[in-house]
Amino acid sequence: MSAKLLCLILLAGCAIAAQEPSDWIQLFNGKDLTGWTPKIRGYAPGENFANTFRVENGVLKVSYDGYGEFKDRFGHLFYKEPFGYYIIAVEYRFVGQQAKGGPNWALRNSGIMIHGQDPYTMPKEQDFPISIEVQLLGGDGTNPRTTVNLCTPGTNVVMDSKLITTHCLSSKSKTYHGKQWVRAEVLVLGSSLIRHKIDGETLIEYVMPQIGGGSVSGHDPKQKQDGKLLDSGTISLQSESHPVEFRKVELLNLAGCMDPKARNYKKWFVKAENHTCQY
């Protein structure tokens, strides 16, 4: 491990220890989809087919009651602002029955997409954004099934100094059956390190996320520059045919003003963006 990476990890640890609840940015405001843009396969960005993404009773819901057949209409709900250095946390649960015609692998399946492409660069027929997926899975009531796994639509990562081209890798989490709420967290340090966590336990970590591989279709070839490192990008939530709910989507930004003389200095920032300093 390089000295620079070790320093980043230590600083990120300070961020977790030093932050207050008010320091987290609430990406989901609990009222509506302000700040979010849907992109569903077969439709233009901003078109929320069949009201797939909606807010009811303070919960962000992914629903398919207006679909009939699912017809591979995979969707993503994109936050308006890209980030590169941060901790993101979601509290999610799976409910109800899978949409008719949804693939078997998509049962109780959703995800947090990070380091993703801009939805406005996605053609109508693109299925998944080129991104890194923190895969969220629920148990089927009987069999073990891990969550916060890693999937890589149009990307690869490096683990133990080896380029990983396998599309999905399982974590070692326990299985979460039923409708229980689960809190997942992801530490993202640009292209230096990404960690998937539940209950403070690191379950997967990797470095050098980059464009490459397959498992994405319908994309503009100009957007798939294989080998390009990903150090920032969009954040989105998936719709893959099973109803899922999010009661919290929050982010602790680790990039900002690192001048202690500035009013908006935070001691846990690990990435300097001193053009944002306020005096």
- Over residues 176-194, the pLDDT tens digits come to 999 999 999 999 999 999 9
Is 80 exceeded by the pLDDT of residue 14?
Answer: no
- Residue 233 makes CB contacts below 8 A (sequence gap 6+) with 82, 83, 84, 114, 115, 116, 117, 131
Q: How far apart are CA 138 and CA 225, in angstroms?
A: 33
Residue-wise pLDDT tens digits, 121-174? 999 999 999 999 999 999 999 999 999 999 999 999 999 999 999 999 999 999
* CB-CB contact of 245 with 261 (8 Å): no
pTM of the model: 0.93
Q: Mean pLDDT over residues 246-274, rounded?
A: 95
Q: How far apart are CA 156 and CA 131, in angstroms?
A: 9
- In eight-state DSSP terms, residue 49 is G
Instruction: Give the chain's domains with CATH numbers.
Output: 3-276 (2.60.120.560)
